[in-house]
Amino acid sequence: MGHGWQGAVLKLMRGKDFTFTVRSNERLSERLHRLSFDDGGMLQATGVHPTMWVRLWFDNGGRPHQRAYTLVEPDPAAGTFGMDFALHSGCASDWARAARPGDTIEATVQGSQFAVPDPLPSRLLVVGDAASRPAIDSLLDAMPQTPAVIWYETAHPRDGDHMPQGGGGSRELVPVPRRDGGGHLVETVREALPKRLDDSAYVWIACDTATTRTLAAFAHKQLGVPKERLYALGYWRAD
């Protein structure tokens, strides 16, 4: 499958292409599949960083459909990693439901970058959901002793089965049911964040695109969180 104009742009941006092979596909619930992959040489070539994600190319009726997924427990020596697919109606989700050992998928590595802040923040203030849960776990694992508050949006009762667990330090997990297209999460975080913020806290936000944008603007413009202590990336687009 060609990657169309998106693939051409990524090539110009020095994206690196790899082919992954499915090793296993575990159905954790009707909302979550955990796949493991052989990395096609990727991890040795690119190295690994916290919250690392790659662009996968799915076939959508002959047309390229590119979506981002986060590496779980990448192991460069073994050349393997996992991915957790939070399922809904969508081409990537359909592929993950049906994937079998030996299936292959093409991937491009471009755009993922994250470095643990130095010096370490006083605390992590995290906003996310099932799509960003693998990234949240990776973030918490990368700063295991840093206290964290996680506002975690759940859209389905089964989302509560797999909540962030990473790291070993003090963790306060605040489940927030998804209501009003993310409006309830926005209200909850706008109310709580100012009370948790201090001069060296780090704010990390990854939920649906509109909610992410609203909360990032709130943190930066209204609370004055500087850009170097704020990471925000929309992980999915709500209809």
The site for ligand FAD (CB under 6 A) is made up of: 53, 65, 67-70, 83-86, 88-93, 131, 134, 233, 235-239
* 46 three-class SS: helix
Is 53 or 204 the residue whose CB approaches ligand FAD more closely?
53
Q: How far is the CB of 185 from ligand FAD (least distance, A)?
A: 13
Q: Which two tokens stand for residue 55?
A: 């662009």
Is 133 or 171 the residue whose CB approaches ligand FAD more closely?
133
Query: How crowded is residue 213: how many other Cβ atoms within 10 Å of its Cβ?
Result: 13
Alpha carbon distances (Å) from 45 to 7, 27, 76, 77, 142: 19, 30, 9, 12, 21
Q: How far is the CB of 239 from ligand FAD (least distance, A)?
A: 4
How many angstroms separate the CA atoms of 91 and 7, rounded?
Answer: 18
Alpha carbon distances (Å) from 154 to 92, 159, 170, 172: 20, 6, 21, 16
Q: How far is the CB of 61 from ligand FAD (least distance, A)?
A: 12
Is 7 or 134 the residue whose CB approaches ligand FAD more closely?
134
Q: Which residue is nearest to ligand FAD (CB)?
A: 90
Is 202 or 235 the residue whose CB approaches ligand FAD more closely?
235
Q: 189-197 long-range CB contacts below 8 Å, 24 or more apart?
A: 189/127, 189/151, 189/215, 189/218, 190/215, 190/218, 192/149, 192/151, 193/125, 193/218, 193/219, 193/223, 194/223, 196/123, 196/125, 196/149, 197/125, 197/223, 197/225
Q: How far is the CB of 131 from ligand FAD (least distance, A)?
A: 4
Q: How far is the CB of 4 from ligand FAD (least distance, A)?
A: 15
Q: How far is the CB of 128 from ligand FAD (least distance, A)?
A: 10
Strand order across the 148-154 sheet: 171-177, 148-154, 124-129, 202-206, 230-232
Q: How far is the CB of 16 from ligand FAD (least distance, A)?
A: 16
